[in-house]
Structure 1
Amino acid sequence: MLGFENQFLCHVTNIRTLASVGKIMTTKEELSSEITAVGDRIRNMKLEKASKEALQPHIDQLVTLKKKLDEIIVAESKKEFDRTKLETVLRRRFFYAPAFDIYGGVSGLYDYGPPGCALQANILQLWRSHFILEEQMLEVDTTILTPYDVLHTSGHVDRFTDLMVKDKGNGNLYRADHLLENWLSAQIKDVKTDAKLKEEYSYVMTQVDNYDAKELGDILRKYNVKAPESGNDISEPEPFNLMFKTQIGPAEHDSKGRGFMRPETAQGQFTNFKKLYEYNNERMPFASAQIGKSFRNEISPRAGLLRVREFTMAEIEHYVHPNKKDHPRFREVENVIMSFLPASEQEKGVSSTIDMTIGEAVRSGMVNNETLGYFLARISLFLIKIGIKKERLRFRQHMSNEMAHYASDCWDAEIQSSYGWIECVGCADRSAYDLSNHTKRTGERLVAREKLDTPIQKNVIKPQFNKKEIGVIVDEIENMNECELKELKKSLETNQRAKVAGFEVSSDMVSIVETVETCYVDEYIPSVIEPSFGIGRIMYSLLEHSYYVRENDENRCVLSFPPVVAPVKCLVVPLSGHPSFPPFIYELCQLLRSKDISFQKDDSSSSVGKRYARNDEIGIPFGITVDFQTVKDKTVTLRERDSMSQVRIHMDQVANIVASLANATLSWNKVTETFPAFVEQEIDN
């Protein structure tokens, strides 16, 4: 039990914190951070068996903080997000633009301009640091062109489809689930819609991803959904394969020349598993990773960067023993609190999330295993680090009909934007599906081996052949996995014959026997945990989450990127065109270059305020101004974008300070505590 002194100190801390809620903590980020801290404090006190009296002030504090956060969220939700205004800024400042714009553009293809390119590069650099370097992953760069046989083996040729409907009048094509979602959303928002119908529509909305083609067609007919632009009838949903076909080499009819532009970066990693395993000195578990372009022939790409035909992915394949999916570093993340939307809740028509630690989620069985849980937590930490708002991030579990053909469990990190909740990261337990299929197709054993300290007796199932009779399909049977051999055994015992690779075999040709062997080595096909990141979707969500306008000035737009991902870290401006300033500007630029700090110089004739305002639009977090005081004592002003507060710093120190701020090893609060404030107000005329 806590002593009186500790209880008193806790009470004093509580009073100070409650006072700070009204005075200092005015942003969602600050409140969310404090809610987490207070929640951790309460958990620790409970572990120490603190008294109810000692706990109560902290519980009251938590309630007050949550109430204030809810008030801010409700107030913000009442403000209509002006997506058009944001997109105008993004295109005017050339974050991105439709590709081949002067030719009318191509739907679903975009070019990134200088700030967009830098923003993406910074996100990827942080991704490399957060995942590849932190987890000691093996990075590869595999080809985009992928042979037909590889993607047929992986299941993409047969199953990588979306359901499509056609406007019967003009032939326009639509993705069926998106068409239904848009119609349902419009009905729910319509004030004329009956309350009971709204409840029904909301339930259907939660089930859209779970419908097959027939069920989706039935729902579209039930609600008499029409083509949105024309009002014409639509066709029945039918599957459309999303892969871009291509020809590899000049021979049009050569089967080896058939191929696709890869729809994901995973298969190149799987087909190199054996080389990676050997490079890793045959140690398990381990992970490979890849960043690169992927291509999907979207039916009707809309919503800007959220649904495109060419995009950057960052994918991890973590190889693990199928029966040992614990993770040695899980304890480091088990207390990370996340918002979950499990399949069980969605199937009830519920869309509200459950907040709990990843440790609780794994222990309860809601998340399948520790390794999957570890990566879910690390994904959450990464997204929040780059600037995604925690309260607009959730992890949604795939429902049964929605689950990919290879997955035993799958969660999507969904980010809320003006387009709704958008899947930006998928994290799946792919089991041993891919490596098993590639082993079977090629005969190359993509397996791991671990020496056993104590030999074990193991049941094995093997084929025995009458090779004179069976001949050509011996290899096909020998490459079968245990489940396939058991199915073949059952068929031969029941019917005395079975089909294998298009050939009919009889029990005279082959028999499947089960024996017990003493094993000194555990040989297995690894399971794979795969986090897969859609970088463009993450980037667009970050743009929305970072965008705001200055209070009382709707014309001053700001992108409040965290400094670590901001496209440009620093703005350098002279106060005016006075001839004494250029030498100091030159010296400053040299100092910033020496620290690898990206910067822009703006020496136009506009006022300093206007120059800062237009550079706030591209999210530059810091600004250095050379003025007449600089000429006297070589001090400059350093300005922070969001607070617009400024301090006075000597030129010899400023580059180091900006570098530390940009890589998040120094906070702006610490800078303002260390250096004198510059109180002159900005002039905006």
Structure 2
Amino acid sequence: MSSEDIKKARSAIPFNREHLESVLRQRFFFAPAFDLYGGVSGLYDYGPPGCAFQANVVDYWRKHFILEEDMLEVDCTMLTPHDVLKTSGHVDKFSDWMCKDRKTGEIFRADHIVEEVLEARLVGDKEARGLVKDANASAKEDADKKKRKKKVKQIQAVKLEDAVIKEYEEVLAKIDGYSGKELGELMQRFNIGNPVTGDPLEPPVAFNLMFETAIGPSGQLKGYLRPETAQGQFLNFNKLLEFNNGKTPFASASIGKSFRNEISPRSGLLRVREFLMAEIEHFLDPLDKSHPRFHEVKDVKLSFLPREVQEAGSTEPIVKTIGEAVESKMVDNETLGYFIARISQFLLAIGVDATKLRFRQHLANEMAHYAADCWDGELLTSFGWIECVGCADRSAYDLTVHSEKTKQKLVVRQKLEKPVEVTRWEIDLTKKLFGPKFRKDTPLVEAYLLNLSQEELASKAEELKNTGKIVFQVEGIDGKLDLDDKFVQIEKRTKIEHVREFVPNVIEPSFGIGRIIYSVFEHSFWSRPEDTARSVLSFAPLVAPTKVLLVPLSNHKDLAPVTAQVSKQLRTEKIPFRVDDSGVSIGKRYARNDELGTPFGVTIDFDSCKDGSVTLRERDSTKQVRGSTKDVIEAIRSITYGGVTWEEGTKSLTPFTSQSESA
């Protein structure tokens, strides 16, 4: 079977999410956590193949980014004090909009319910026009009764006016940018209520997604389970800079669990409350955002959904190279563009379908005020386009706010080749007068004054000149304070500087590993046209949980020593494998391991006892070749870890056609 034949076979049977989820759970890739107790929504356990797949994805992520980019890896605590997340903005702003059914008490996420209902109405329109014939049929086949009821309620064969269709499509294109108030207005305008009962929902309210906890037995130190791994990297900036000999640019990276108390986690592994993240913080000079290796990726072609296209109510992507995107300023700078291209390369290498990958730019009202630019790597699944990777230019926000809060400098000091003349505002304190006036609050007042920005010093200088005093307020001290010119002097001075001091900007690629893994599951899943009960997960060999299925042709005692010897060789080569010496047919053994995504099968028969040769089978095409154990293992290694094709890796082996895969 050629690669073209494989593509045709994979697309011959329509994708069925219920079938995929059945296979994943049956083969214990994952399962609801605490299943014996009825489970908890949004919490899942990974089984042996799921653990192995995740470990392989993370291992390749580490090689692709940390090793290839010379990043500095850190592993920071998951417990985070309240003050840290208050400073970062998470306590006040890390929220989603939720709405409640007044009758049932059921909670919905507002943007999701609007999106879900409008998309269902569009499906109903297509059904009415004869474009979709099996919407209700697929709903009836749904194993989940509640989900089936929901679908039947939503998908009604109602023909919509063209203007309404256009309006729905425009709303869906901008769904990520609406505020809570705007979502509430949309729900009223389009009569969106509980999709099962039709009952009205309360207006959306903000819900903070962090899990709150107490650190220590007294309960007085308030904390949270971290919602991201980034803050630990920012707080360790000075240590990382010193480790890197004071040089920038450099990047840190962290892989670990994060926690978000999702409002209504109804999309399996795509929306969970505990998940694995991999994040990079690339620190660079705000005056130079070029990247020395940008030329290596400038010709990478990508699908972009820029802000302007979304604001026009369209979801049609623009395809261009990352070089063109940066040159046109659609993507803000080279380093941001470099990481977008590297993200794409990583996703494709682990098995993402290139036709189901796009990069969507954040709309103006969904982007943080401090961000220069932000793009989401989105993957198309049966749930729609899902954000799996964020790539943002966060400017100098995080280091700046933590520095201001702690009064510790988080800066880079760069020796200048030529000294420069710098004019800036400076403040002098008559410290001997501060103690009698402020007593125990003296350190707080001094720290506040010495950390005023240039803009603030200019304003205070004008105030001192005009009124003879400055008035200010210090966090932790009640009431307003004032000082006259006996306490402070503020002057603009010119100095010759030999060192430039700056707060670096940060480019942050952030990966949701669980979402990526589930998307790869969908992109890899198909059924063989000749037997739809035979499902296949076409994992890339690089990340497949097990690389080889070792299959003795029978349980005959003569085959056991050869099986043991081949097992030893695979173990020595560190190639993950499983032995299946059950009594079922070889076709059934292959079929159940195709569902596990095992890319290769090695069959041991009676000829193996005579000459040491074995048969190598490729999962997708079912092609088989034969050769010595040594040559077969070398072919497996070169295809799995060397990145060569099946044809290239097996060119020294002999085609083999006599064995049957019939069940």
- How much does 1:155 deviate? 0.7
| Distance across 2 between alignment mates of 1:560 and 1:187 | 34
Q: Counterpart of 1:122?
A: 56
Q: Counterpart of 1:684?
A: 662
| Distance across 1 between alignment mates of 2:612 and 2:292 | 52
CA RMSD in angstroms comes to: 2.1
CA distance 1:211–1:600, shift in 2 (3 Å): same
| Distance across 2 between alignment mates of 1:507 and 1:434 | 31
CA distance 1:554–1:586, shift in 2 (3 Å): same
Q: Which runs of 4+ in 1 moved over 6 A?
A: 490-496
| Distance across 2 between alignment mates of 1:474 and 1:102 | 59
| Distance across 2 between alignment mates of 1:488 and 1:340 | 46
Q: Counterpart of 2:211?
A: 244
Q: Which runs of 5+ in 1 are unaligned?
A: 1-21, 29-71
Per-residue deviation, residues 379-402 of structure 1 (Å, max 9, x unmatched) = 000000111011110000001110
Q: Counterpart of 1:7?
A: none
Residue 570 (structure 2) pairs with residue 603 (structure 1): no
Q: Counterpart of 1:285?
A: 249
Pick one of 380, 405, 408 that aligns with 1:444: 408
Pick one of 611, 629, 639 that aligns with 1:661: 639
Q: Counterpart of 2:198?
A: 231
- Give SS of 1:275's match: helix
- Give SS of 2:511's match: strand
| Distance across 1 between alignment mates of 2:618 and 2:638 | 14
Pick one of 547, 555, 560 that aligns with 1:582: 560
Checking the alignment, whether the CA contact within 8 Å between 1:358 and 1:377 is kept in structure 2 is yes
- 1:24-43 map, 5 Å: 25=4
Q: Counterpart of 2:110?
A: 176
> Which amino acid in structure 2 is aligned with residue 624 of structure 1?
V
- Give SS of 1:477's match: helix
Pick one of 423, 437, 451 that aligns with 1:479: 451
Residue 477 (structure 2) pairs with residue 504 (structure 1): no
- 1:317-466 map, 5 Å: 317-465=281-429
| Distance across 1 between alignment mates of 2:552 and 2:60 | 32
| Distance across 2 between alignment mates of 1:476 and 1:262 | 29
Higher mean Cα deviation, 667-676 or 588-597? 667-676
> Which amino acid in structure 2 is aligned with residue 249 of structure 1?
G
Q: Counterpart of 1:97?
A: 31
Q: Counterpart of 1:542?
A: 520
- Give SS of 1:580's match: helix
> Which amino acid in structure 2 is aligned with residue 121 of structure 1?
A
Say which structure, 1 or 2, has more relative contact order (CA 8 Å, 6+ apart): 2
Q: Counterpart of 2:178?
A: 211
Residue 240 (structure 2) pairs with residue 276 (structure 1): yes
> Which amino acid in structure 1 is aligned with residue 205 of structure 2?
E
CA distance 1:347–1:487, shift in 2 (3 Å): farther
Checking the alignment, whether the CA contact within 8 Å between 2:631 and 2:653 is kept in structure 1 is no
> Which amino acid in structure 1 is aligned with residue 446 of structure 2?
V
- Give SS of 1:431's match: coil
| Distance across 2 between alignment mates of 1:493 and 1:165 | 53
CA distance 1:488–1:155, shift in 2 (3 Å): farther
CA distance 1:299–1:512, shift in 2 (3 Å): farther
| Distance across 2 between alignment mates of 1:491 and 1:640 | 78
Checking the alignment, whether the CA contact within 8 Å between 1:436 and 1:481 is kept in structure 2 is no
CA distance 1:507–1:209, shift in 2 (3 Å): farther
> Which amino acid in structure 2 is aligned with residue 501 of structure 1?
V
> Which amino acid in structure 2 is aligned with residue 565 of structure 1?
V
- How much does 1:350 deviate? 1.4
% identical aligned pairs = 52
- How much does 1:26 deviate? 5.5
CA distance 1:331–1:491, shift in 2 (3 Å): farther
> Which amino acid in structure 2 is aligned with residue 379 of structure 1?
I
Checking the alignment, whether the CA contact within 8 Å between 2:535 and 2:594 is kept in structure 1 is yes
Q: Counterpart of 1:566?
A: 544
Per-residue deviation, residues 516-573 of structure 1 (Å, max 9, x unmatched) = 3222111011111100000000000000000011122100100000000000000001
CA distance 1:79–1:237, shift in 2 (3 Å): farther
- How much does 1:343 deviate? 0.7
Q: Counterpart of 1:51?
A: none
- How much does 1:653 deviate? 2.6
Higher mean Cα deviation, 211-220 or 659-668? 659-668
- How much does 1:229 deviate? 2.9
- How much does 1:206 deviate? 1.2
Q: Counterpart of 1:39?
A: none
| Distance across 1 between alignment mates of 2:652 and 2:460 | 75
- 1:156-195 map, 5 Å: 156-191=90-125, 192-195=159-162
Pick one of 248, 262, 266 that aligns with 1:298: 262
Checking the alignment, whether the CA contact within 8 Å between 2:13 and 2:527 is kept in structure 1 is no
| Distance across 1 between alignment mates of 2:350 and 2:88 | 33
- How much does 1:463 deviate? 3.1
Checking the alignment, whether the CA contact within 8 Å between 2:257 and 2:275 is kept in structure 1 is yes
| Distance across 1 between alignment mates of 2:460 and 2:188 | 43
Higher mean Cα deviation, 504-513 or 572-581? 504-513
Checking the alignment, whether the CA contact within 8 Å between 1:452 and 1:522 is kept in structure 2 is yes
Higher mean Cα deviation, 381-390 or 575-584? 575-584
> TM-score with structure 2 length normalisation?
0.89
| Distance across 2 between alignment mates of 1:175 and 1:593 | 49
CA distance 1:679–1:27, shift in 2 (3 Å): closer
Residue 506 (structure 2) pairs with residue 516 (structure 1): no
CA distance 1:682–1:494, shift in 2 (3 Å): farther
Checking the alignment, whether the CA contact within 8 Å between 2:626 and 2:632 is kept in structure 1 is no
| Distance across 2 between alignment mates of 1:173 and 1:327 | 46
Count of aligned residue pairs for this structure pair = 616
- How much does 1:662 deviate? 1.6
- How much does 1:493 deviate? 7.4
- How much does 1:656 deviate? 2.5
CA distance 1:651–1:24, shift in 2 (3 Å): closer
Q: Counterpart of 1:58?
A: none
Per-residue deviation, residues 383-425 of structure 1 (Å, max 9, x unmatched) = 0011101111000000111013442211000000000000000
CA distance 1:561–1:399, shift in 2 (3 Å): same
Checking the alignment, whether the CA contact within 8 Å between 1:137 and 1:289 is kept in structure 2 is yes
Per-residue deviation, residues 138-172 of structure 1 (Å, max 9, x unmatched) = 00111000001111111111111111111111211
| Distance across 2 between alignment mates of 1:96 and 1:488 | 60
| Distance across 2 between alignment mates of 1:355 and 1:438 | 39
Residue 98 (structure 2) pairs with residue 134 (structure 1): no
Per-residue deviation, residues 49-68 of structure 1 (Å, max 9, x unmatched) = xxxxxxxxxxxxxxxxxxxx
- Give SS of 1:558's match: strand
Per-residue deviation, residues 481-507 of structure 1 (Å, max 9, x unmatched) = 445545656777788755433553447
> Which amino acid in structure 2 is aligned with residue 539 of structure 1?
I
| Distance across 1 between alignment mates of 2:466 and 2:264 | 49
Per-residue deviation, residues 574-598 of structure 1 (Å, max 9, x unmatched) = 1112221111000010000000110
CA distance 1:235–1:389, shift in 2 (3 Å): same
- Give SS of 1:673's match: coil
- Give SS of 1:190's match: helix
Q: Counterpart of 1:197?
A: 164
Residue 85 (structure 2) pairs with residue 144 (structure 1): no
Checking the alignment, whether the CA contact within 8 Å between 2:635 and 2:650 is kept in structure 1 is no
- Give SS of 1:291's match: strand
- How much does 1:681 deviate? 4.4
CA distance 1:227–1:366, shift in 2 (3 Å): same
> Which amino acid in structure 1 is aligned with residue 305 of structure 2?
L
> Which amino acid in structure 2 is aligned with residue 245 of structure 1?
E
> TM-score with structure 1 length normalisation?
0.87
CA distance 1:190–1:483, shift in 2 (3 Å): farther
| Distance across 2 between alignment mates of 1:23 and 1:124 | 31
Per-residue deviation, residues 337-364 of structure 1 (Å, max 9, x unmatched) = 1111111111111111101111111111
| Distance across 1 between alignment mates of 2:457 and 2:120 | 52
> Which amino acid in structure 2 is aligned with residue 233 of structure 1?
P
